[in-house]
Amino acid sequence: MIEAKIAGSAPLKYLAWISLVLSFCFTGQPLAESRVAGFQTDSLHNQSQQADIAFYGEHIIPISGSTRPVNFVAVKGDKIIYVGDYKDWQGSVGETIELGDRALLPGFIDAHGHISFHSSIAGMANVASPPVGPAENIADLIQVLRNFIQKSKPAPEQWVVGLGYDDSLLAEGRHPTIIDLDQVSLTLPILLMHVSGHLAAVNSRALEIAGINETSVNPPGGVIRRFTGSQKPNGVLEESATSAVHRFQAPSADPFGDLQRGILDFASNGITTAQEGGASAAAIKMLRAASQDSSFPIDVVAYRRVQEKELADPDLHSIHSQEYSNGFRVGGIKLLLDGSPQGKTAFLTEPYAVPPEGKGADYRGYPWMPAVSVDALFAKFIASATPILAHANGDAAADLFLNALARSLPASKSLDHRTVMIHAQTVREDQLDRIAKMQVIPSYFSAHTFYWGDWHRDSVLGLKRGSRISPTASSLNKNILFTVHNDAPVVPPDMLRLVWATVNRLTRSGQTLGSSQKISVHEALKAVTINAAYQYFEEDSKGSIEPGKQADLVVLSQNPLTVPPLELLNIEVVRTIARGKTVYLAKGS
């Protein structure tokens, strides 16, 4: 067993001495440090090293750029101290894990998600469609709500909240309305969040409590949908209009406990850095307090959501920090420029293939705010060197983003701004040229190819535009560094399904959507490791397996580079190590 060999230091010292003698005999020179470029391999240096844990095997994927073989990784405390060939390691190890057929990779990095929102969903009704939930039609959805109410026994006037309904997957192909939800209850307010997070469906009681009626006007950046030929609200709310009902949601009874459970769920998917990509000031306060109450087992980075009305807020001048405290930091700000393509609220330059009910053939969605406000927000935060994440799904919203950034960047000097275009679903080739020139980082929601690929092709964008959503191959061809994400809880934080979707681009019906945009497994893995670390300004400490970097690692049941790409879904996360500590271990491992 390799454990026995490593645990005793005397035999290894003897081997080190033999290696030096043989090296001198055959070359006239002692074994050099440069023997494995980029790795710490000096045997004399390693003699005194003591590692807490080490990994040994033939399936180590460093994602470091080095082509040298690696079969041994040693960790001390929260740092990687050695990466290279086992026979060159001259230190001692407390515990060695033999990988066998399993693979070791850098820990996965969540390029965009909502960890606190994901953590709160346990107390909600699951009204999603398969494979995430049981609702195949509106009758199923109604029954889920009835069962949830019977089990949870809400108090009078307590809001019943469901998450994940998807009109594109319900058999009726529409949103539930007050006619449907009033069948569940006329006294309890009911709020269902659309799978995109950009729309909501409520019952009559919820509309009454929110004060929404025939005389209500659409808020800026939002729409109150009405029954055809009437001003009567039908219970479906878009974008900013949803805030009228969201504000009545009761906070969790155990927010710290929910958050810890949500973080461990992320860890079970191999994630060692998670994101809260749109936090309110109150949410950031809660996250910071939760981390002080019990240090987070993985790193969590929050981005404060900012709206145009907050332009003059003095608290936003120094909002971000690169330093973690108990596993938490605020990484910058989040802007919302438009809505959802699957919800048909994203802002496009060309009309939707099939417009939503009540909209004309020229309907293109709409922005959250006017260009002048986008320009002002970009100018403010670029000038203060505050990292920006900006949600832009539609290509018209991408134009707002790129125009604002171009006006904000100083002409006299290069600026390492790393501004992130979140989702970037429909960016055009000419926009990719601008993205490359300004060094924007697009973070693609490439899980869309599976979850909504058929919907994009047949109803949202049509075949031509739908085939190039999340244009990862085009980005590679233009040397654009990009990341990919799940946007949990929009879809589960399953990083292996994300890689599978990015590589294969298969829809739910099994059809390939845009074969020309397929990329290799290795490039997809980079998008959730070293590229994502770069997005966070953390490439010097995360994203690859290299000496001196933080010991964030994931063990997979198989090597993703050697299995057929279609079989990536069969790979499981076996162990997740964050800062040198195992934070998840699969049962039976």
Whether the model clears a pTM of 0.75, i.e. scores above it, the answer is yes
Question: Which pair of tokens denotes residue 496?
Answer: 């292996």
Q: Are residues 449 and 469 in contact, defined by beta-carbon separation less than 8 angstroms? A: yes
Decide: helix, strand or coil at residue 504. helix
CA dist 514 and 336 (Å) reads 27
CA dist 332 and 345 (Å) reads 26
- Nearest to residue 202, comparing CAs of 163, 229, 176? 176
Question: Which pair of tokens denotes residue 237?
Answer: 């709310």
Domains, the chain, ranges and CATH? 2-100 (no CATH), 121-246 (3.10.310.70), 255-585 (3.20.20.140)
Residues comprising the chain, all counted: 589
Concatenating the DSSP letter of every residue in 208-251 gives HHHT--TTPPPPTTEEEEE-TTS-SEEEEEEEGGGHHHHTTPPP
pLDDT at 511: 98
pLDDT tens-digit series, residues 473-510? 999 999 999 999 999 999 999 999 999 999 999 999 99
pLDDT at 441: 98
Q: Are residues 25 and 13 in contact, defined by beta-carbon separation less than 8 angstroms? A: no
The CB density around residue 101, as the number of other CB atoms within 10 Å, is: 12
Q: Is 215 exposed, middle or buried (0-12, 13-18, 19+ CB in 10 A)?
A: exposed
Q: Are residues 145 and 233 in contact, defined by beta-carbon separation less than 8 angstroms? A: no
Cβ neighbours of residue 351 closer than 8 Å, sequence gap 6 or more: 361, 362, 363, 364
- Nearest to residue 432, comparing CAs of 468, 459, 457? 468
Q: Are residues 576 and 295 in contact, defined by beta-carbon separation less than 8 angstroms? A: no
Question: Which pair of tokens denotes residue 273?
Answer: 């850095």
- Nearest to residue 284, comparing CAs of 337, 328, 336? 328
Measured on CA atoms in the order 174, 179, 184, 188, is the torsion positive or negative? positive
Query: Distance of CA 522 to CAs 104, 170, 267, 533, 534, Å?
Result: 14, 35, 21, 16, 17
Question: Which pair of tokens denotes residue 85?
Answer: 């060939």
CA dist 375 and 390 (Å) reads 12
In SS3 terms, 129-188 reads as: CCCCCCCCCHHHHHHHHHHHHHHHCCCCCCCEEEEEECCCCCCCCCCCCHHHHCCCCCCC
pLDDT at 303: 97
- Which residues of the chain, if any, have pLDDT below 50? 1-47
Question: Which pair of tokens denotes residue 416?
Answer: 């390492």
- Nearest to residue 49, comparing CAs of 14, 15, 94? 94
Question: Which pair of tokens denotes residue 480?
Answer: 């654009």
Question: Which pair of tokens denotes residue 23?
Answer: 């090296």
CA dist 321 and 301 (Å) reads 10
Look up residue 382 and give its DSSP letter. H
pLDDT at 48: 67
Cβ neighbours of residue 577 closer than 8 Å, sequence gap 6 or more: 53, 75, 107, 272, 551, 552, 553, 554, 555, 583
Q: Is 544 exposed, middle or buried (0-12, 13-18, 19+ CB in 10 A)?
A: buried
pLDDT at 267: 98
Number of helices followed by number of strands (H, E) in the chain: 20, 22
| Site of tokens 């002692």 | 30
501: left (phi over 0), alpha (psi -120 to 50) or beta: alpha
